[in-house]
Structure 1
Amino acid sequence: MRILLWYWGRRGGGAQHAFCLARALAARPDVSLELSVSAQGELADRFAGLGVPVHFINTFNGPAGFLAATLRLPWIIGTLRAQARAMGADVVLSVMSHVWTPLAAPLLARDGIAFVPIIHDARPHPGDPALLWRWRMRRELGAARAAVVLSDAVAQVVAAEAPGLPLIRLPLGAHLPNGVPAPAESAGEDFLFFGRMRAYKGLDLLRDAWALLLRTHPGARLRVVGQGNPEAVAPGLAALPGVTVEARWVSEAEMPGLVASARALVLPYREASQSGVLPLAMACGVPVIATAVGGLSEQMGDGAGGLLVAPEAAALAGAMARMLDREAHARMAAAALRVGRGLSDWDAQAATLVRALA
């Protein structure tokens, strides 16, 4: 099978997902793989080292670069179409939607080339930019021969938006381009929240739960790391005892070690498609406390690798208190590691994908 893997994003979970999947596909003898990726991407050097043909596209780094690149957009999209035709692609696999995807996808379909997007989010998260979201989604799904979904929650939305479109269900794997990190010699903070600081991620719930937990566990420690304004989404969180807040971008190289250093990961979300941090934690043997919303319930499976609770402060506080019990934590950490081994198996994901695309 001839697959053109397309990812024009620059960094974050999408870049890691693209690289892990590309590496697994490149290793398959039944796949002829080529890549179209951003020259400005955080993992550009890693893509170049896969030993497959790569077209690096000059995309952009900021608003000024975006305006300049838009003037070149007909040429950029033409390059993608020409690459797909030249290699005789059986499918163009879009790993994550890009601002230009709804413009390019219908042209691939017009060329008779199968376009298959991986749909991470079928709806905008509450509080996130939603301009032209439905138009973009309709353009992409309208051009698609099939779509890959990473949770049943997303599958339901896509099925309603594009009835009859074949859906390929894959789990969201652990993004570990460098493999599973060595276990930390000693755990750092008791709890870690890691990710973009957005309203839908429930940092205000975590703040209220933390205040409750301190009544019975005054020595507990919480580390909150990610881009965003913590005071805008959870005023007063940083002032609570035992809390450290780091509002910053975390590089691909730092992520696994950051997650592995915690005793437990906390996902206090109010809404979710799925979480890319959850499988990463499981792969590192770090148990997870998650709210039972969206795709998080599916990702937690039988719950042996952590605790699934209602999106309420009291429930979160109770789960964190339970996680501080050494025996309970040890059982959940061992279960998380077992689940994580499967989520780290990108070869199995590639095999499932190839079978579905055939």
Structure 2
Amino acid sequence: MINIVYLGKRGGGALLAKDLLLFGQESNLVNLGMLSSENELNGYFQGNNKITFTSVSHELRTLWKLPSNLIKQCYVSFKWASTTRDEIVLFVMPSPFDLVTMLIIRMFNRKITFICHEYKSHDGEIWPTSRAIRRRIKLSELVITLNKSDADKISKLIFEKSLIVLSHPVLDLQRSIPVIETKGTEIQHPIFLFVGRIKKYKGIERLLEAWSRTDKGFLVIAGEGRIEGTIPPRAVVINRWLSEGEIGYLMDLSDAIIFPYTSASQSGLIPLAISKELTIFVSDLEGLKAQLLNYSDRTIWIDPIGSETILGELKSYADQFIPRIKSGEIASSGPSMIAFLEDIEETWSTLQRGRDSYGCT
């Protein structure tokens, strides 16, 4: 059995942890889950007695509670360590307080698995630091990356550890969100979407610079964060955190989604965009290319530097745009959540057989 830990608050890690827990527990592949009480997707787990909610806080205003919360976190972690002694414990991407839990569980359980979605911190980002990522890699017995490019870099940090590459799992929308059959039939120009927290490495400034020189279509920028400069015409900003349902609704209204990142090795929103059958404008970066390997017919590559290729591709798409009817078929460029979990279990079975053959414990 697999047990899942994610102590972050939101973002791609929260989305992935939520889907792995929901589909994994339904398929009897996942037993327990540990989530932060501040996780904004906790509504999916109301009444689920196999989910532990911890009291760790991510707000500076509650730092005075940190000592007592850490004591509680240690207690929960020791309890978890005894319960999951012979089972896989999967840490879904780094979160500020999961190191305490990882250290305690490691005292009793060597089947610690860590999904490392980036081998270093993003440009301009405070968390996770490169040092924090390396610490979690060193404490894990099995490290999972979501693309070969990161795996090649991480392999230099790993000694006597196991490293595997698994494609980012894709949400099965037919089981979780009703498919909208038609879109865009009343609008003669495309709707482009950028969604996610506004961060320096996500390239929003160069997207806006390119958009200011276009003359067709509409741009929706949805996510919390500070946007520098003025907002050009035909652009709408929704400057706040959005729920998963709201993100899905915006994707249903849109014709294309844009990931103008200047650096990144994956995006947790790409699998959802694929499932929604959107045209994807994305920076030509190794990890993102791996995520979209089987979705090339609807992928438009843009230069991760500057705004000229963004401008050219936006104009070209708008000029050729034809309002379309969705086929209702769900596209896929990666394994399902269940297949992802099964691959982890199979990897551990292989590792255990190898250890047993050499008389290891």
TM (norm. structure 1) is 0.85
> Which runs of 5 or more residues in structure 2 are unaligned?
350-361
* Partners of 1:141 and 1:329 in 2: CA distance: 47
User: Does structure 1 residue 346 correspond to structure 2 residue 337?
Assistant: yes
How many percent of aligned residue pairs carry the same amino acid?
A: 22
CA distance in 2 between counterparts of 1:7 and 1:39 reads 11
> What displacement does 1:75 show?
3.3
Residue pair 2:80, 2:105 contacting (<8 A) in 1 also: no
Return the offset for 1:322. 2.7
Aligned residues: 342
Q: How far has the Cα of 1:59 moved from its partner?
A: 2.1
1:270–1:180: structure 2 CA closer, same or farther, 3 Å change rule? farther
Q: What is the RMSD computed on CA atoms of the aligned residues?
A: 2.8
1:207 and 2:205 aligned: no
Alignment of 1:188-203 (within 5 A): 190-203=191-204
Deviation at 1:207, TM superposition (A): 2.3
- Evaluate the alpha carbon distance shift between residue 43 and residue 193 of structure 1 in structure 2; reply closer, same or farther with a 3 A threshold: closer
C-alpha distance in 1 between matches for 2:255 and 2:333: 21
Going from structure 1 to structure 2, the CA distance change for 1:117 and 1:329 (only over 3 Å counts) comes to farther
> Aligned ranges for residues 271-282 of structure 1 at < 5 Å?
271-282=263-274
Task: Tell me what 1:173 maps to.
Answer: 169
Cα 1:297–1:330, aligned 2, differ >3 Å: closer, same or farther?
farther
Alignment equivalent of 1:307, drawn from 300, 310, 316 = 300
CA contact (8 A) 1:10 1:40 kept: yes
Following superposition, the deviation at residue 34 of structure 1 comes to 1.2
Asked if structure 2 preserves the Cα contact closer than 8 Å seen for 1:151 and 1:169, the reply is: yes
Q: Say whether residues 1:260 and 2:252 are aligned partners.
A: yes
State how far apart, in whole Å, the 2-side matches of 1:346 and 1:190 are. 29
Deviations 1:243-277 (A, max 9, x none): 22222111122111111211101111111121122
SS at match of 1:4: strand
Equivalent positions of 1:279-290 (< 5 A) are 279-290=271-282
What residue in structure 1 maps to residue 36 of structure 2?
38
Structure 1: where are the runs of 5+ without partners? none
CA distance in 2, matches of 1:310, 1:96: 27
d(CA) in 2 for partners of 1:117, 1:201: 24
Q: CA deviation at 1:304?
A: 1.0
Deviations 1:309-352 (A, max 9, x none): 22342211222223225578869x87x965x3354822222222
What is the TM-score of this pair, normalised by structure 2?
0.84
Shift of 1:24: 2.3
Q: Which stretch shows the higher mean deviation, 197-206 or 81-90?
A: 81-90
1:130 Cα deviation (Å)? Answer: 5.4
Q: CA deviation at 1:191?
A: 0.9
Q: Which residue of 2 aligns with 1:251?
A: 243
- Aligned partner of 2:98: which letter? T
| Residues 55-74 of structure 1: pairs in structure 2 closer than 5 A | 55-60=52-57, 62-74=59-71
1:71-99 deviations in Å (ceiling 9; x for gaps): 33133123223223124342211112121
1:57: Cα distance to partner? 1.6
Counterparts of 2:84 and 2:169 in 1: how far apart (Å)? 28
CA contact (8 A) 1:122 1:137 kept: yes
Change (3 A) 1:140 1:67: farther
Match in the other structure for 1:296: 288
Report the 3-state secondary structure (helix = DSSP H, G, I; strand = E; otherwise coil) of the residue aligned with 1:230: coil
